[in-house]
């Protein structure tokens, strides 16, 4: 149980393209999902907290107009990188906090590798 999927697993796009990444909790419901970005050989940095039915909360320095988050249901959150540029190339990872789990649990997705040419 507690499986989180991400789609796509890998995307290569041209500069200026908008890219949508989906994060799904497959066997549980999650009111809260988190989006992280990880550059090569670096740690995971929290970008935003996504709450079902309300606006996402962004971390300091993360542009909300650049990284659009929608959490329309208890099992799906999407991250759209608007007008992607090469510096947006990174590994994007989501996690989900189960409704019925322990307070501190987050289950991570397998990540999405974004390469912007």
Partner 1 sequence: GQQLNQSPQSMFIQEGEDVSMNCTSSSIFNTWLWYKQDPGEGPVLLIALYKAGELTSNGRLTAQFGITRKDSFLNISASIPSDVGIYFCAGQLHYGGATNKLIFGTGTLLAVQP
Residues near partner 1, by CB under 8 A: 4, 6, 32, 34, 42-46, 49, 51, 57, 59-61, 91, 93, 95, 97, 102-111, 113
Using the minimum distance from each CB to partner 1, give the nearer residue, 61 or 86.
61
Using the minimum distance from each CB to partner 1, give the nearer residue, 19 or 93.
93
Is residue 44 classed exposed, middle or buried when 0-12, 13-18 and 19+ CB atoms within 10 A define those classes? Answer: middle
Q: What backbone phi and psi angles, to 5 degrees, belong to 86?
A: -50, -35
CB of residue 103 to partner 1, shortest distance in Å: 7
Under a CB-based contact definition with an 8 Å cutoff, are residues 50 and 34 in contact? yes
CB of residue 16 to partner 1, shortest distance in Å: 26
């Amino acid at each position: 149980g507690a499986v989180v999927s991400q789609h796509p697993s890998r995307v290569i796009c041209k500069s200026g393209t908008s890219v949508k990444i989906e994060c799904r909790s497959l066997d549980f419901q999650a009111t809260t999902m988190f989006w992280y970005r990880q550059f090569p050989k670096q740690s995971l940095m929290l970008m935003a907290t996504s709450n079902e039915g309300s606006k996402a909360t962004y971390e300091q320095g993360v542009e909300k107009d650049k990284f659009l988050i929608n959490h329309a249901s208890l099992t799906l959150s999407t991250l759209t990188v608007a007008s992607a540029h090469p510096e947006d190339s990174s590994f994007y990872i989501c996690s989900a906090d189960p409704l019925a789990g322990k307070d501190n649990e987050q289950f991570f997705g397998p990540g999405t590798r974004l390469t912007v040419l």
